[in-house]
Amino acid sequence: MKYVRSEQSLPRSSGNISDLYPLGMRRLLLFACLLAIPAIAQASPKQLTAAAKQLQRDYNKTTGLYSTAGWWNSANSITTLADLSLTLHTRRYFPVFENTLVQAPKKFPGFLNEFYDDEGWWALAWIRVYDVTKDEKYLKTSEAIFQDMTTGWDETCDGGIWWSKKRAYKNAIANELFFSVATSLALRTQGAPQAAYRDWAEREWKWFRQTGMINSDHLINDGLTKECKNNGKTTWTYNQGVILGALAGFAALNHDATAISTANTITSATLVHLVDPAGVLHDPCEPNCGEDGIQFKGIFVRNLSDLPISQTYRDALQRNSQSLWEKAQGPKTAFDERWSGPYTHTNAGIQSSALDLLIATRKAEQGRPPKP
């Protein structure tokens, strides 16, 4: 199946959603929205299960993939189901994980293909499945994928991995995923393997933060020019998201408080520049984001929920979740790619992204300190 690659093919604005709304207007309306947030804005287990049932309508048991989504989107859908399993303490989706592990490699053996970012998504998916199942075969699969990802590293631009095996572009998402997988594996292994994964994580973060891809607005642009400079291209929400999960893991691995500080700075910038006046997240390609862009916002909120949850973050998740539920919901707990609505259609990528938001909001609410 041929699917759209994000930076090359998605519709473009000048770069981020803030171009559409003046900063003063966004701040005033955001303050008004904060006052209007309901006391509880989280989906119940029954509602989450209904949303997952809608997602699974597109699951193909023969291929182990989702029929209305691309290869990497299917990895994210598996990650979403694993997150849901952890949140609801359910084994309901264990057969799905087992089936995908067996069937999906018939498309790309070992979950390896031309794109290092695709490999990173599958590596993270199997790490999350390992977390819920405690089955070592999933962790071993992730380790094997990561080993292939390391072959993408060279000294062009002083380091980093390439986006694809054609070695034509070094970008943010492939390197953020490399950082996240390395950190995640280091947190789940011991001895020599752990030391090797830690070394890769430290090398990647040292390289990434000096590339200039984090711009003056504290947002991450798409990648580097051939001259190894920030290319100034779109600040997609998922580029702001994957780094958050990686930095949360890196902070836990190395007891590095500066990693959380950096993650908070990027998050704060995202919640100012990549939202509409009501505080709802958007990517500039909406409402026609193709097979790729529909996944981005869910990736952001999923990784946001890995950070220590402040009241500001909790409120942001509630605003988006409430908007999704009230304005973007269709029949049978289906959701639109625009979390501000209206509902027009869904598919596996859209649905799993929306489910990421509902899960992240519930996790944030469950983490709230008990009221006196």
CATH, residue 150: 1.50.10.20
Mean pLDDT, 10 residues at a time, the chain of 372 residues: 39 49 53 42 89 98 98 98 97 98 98 98 98 98 98 98 98 98 98 98 98 98 98 98 98 95 98 98 96 97 96 96 97 98 98 98 78 36
Model pLDDT, residue 15 = 56
Is 109 part of any domain? yes
Structure tokens at 367: 């983490």
In terms of residue numbers, what domain contains 336? 6-366
Closest C-alpha among 256, 244, 255 to residue 300: 244
Buried b / exposed e across 137-176, counting CB within 10 Å, b at 16+?
A: ebbebbbebbebbeebbeeebebbbbbbeeeebbbbbbbb
Contact 327, 320 (CB under 8 A): no
Is 371 part of any domain? no
**Residue labelled with tokens 């989702």:** 66
Q: What is the distance between the alpha carbons of residues 247 and 253, in angstroms, rounded to a whole number? A: 10
CA distances from 20 to 28, 32, 317, 336 (A): 15, 19, 22, 21
Model pLDDT, residue 371 = 42
Model pLDDT, residue 43 = 87
Q: What is the 3-state secondary structure (H, E, C) of the chain?
A: CCCCCHHHHCCCCCCCHHHHCCHHHHHHHHHHHHHHCCCCCCCCHHHHHHHHHHHHCCEECCCCEECCCCHHHHHHHHHHHHHHHHHHCCCCCHHHHHHHHHHHHHCCHHHCCCEHHHHHHHHHHHHHHHHHHCCHHHHHHHHHHHHHHHHHECCHHHCCECCECCCCCCEHHHHHHHHHHHHHHHCCCCHHHHHHHHHHHHHHHHHHCCCCCECCCCCECCEECCCCCECCCCCCHHHHHHHHHHHHHHHHHHCCHHHHHHHHHHHHHHHHHCECCCCCECCCCCCCCHHHHCCHHHHHHHHHCCCCCCHHHHHHHHHHHHHHHHHCECHHHCECCCCCCCCCCCCHHHHHHHHHHHHHHHHHHHCCCCCC
Contacts (Cβ under 8 Å, ≥6 apart) of 161: 116, 149, 150, 152, 153, 170, 174, 175, 178
Structure tokens at 10: 């998605």
pTM: 0.90
Model pLDDT, residue 368 = 57
Is 100 part of any domain? yes
Structure tokens at 201: 């994580």
Is 372 part of any domain? no
Model pLDDT, residue 16 = 57
Model pLDDT, residue 355 = 98
Q: Longest C-alpha distance within the chain, in Å? A: 58
Give the orientation angle of helix 296-304 with respect to helix 237-254, to 10 degrees: 30
Is 182 part of any domain? yes
Is 1 part of any domain? no
Model pLDDT, residue 226 = 97
Model pLDDT, residue 234 = 97
Q: How many domains does the chain have?
A: 1
Model pLDDT, residue 367 = 75
Model pLDDT, residue 42 = 73
CA distances from 104 to 62, 64, 65, 96 (A): 9, 5, 6, 11
Is 197 part of any domain? yes
Is 234 part of any domain? yes
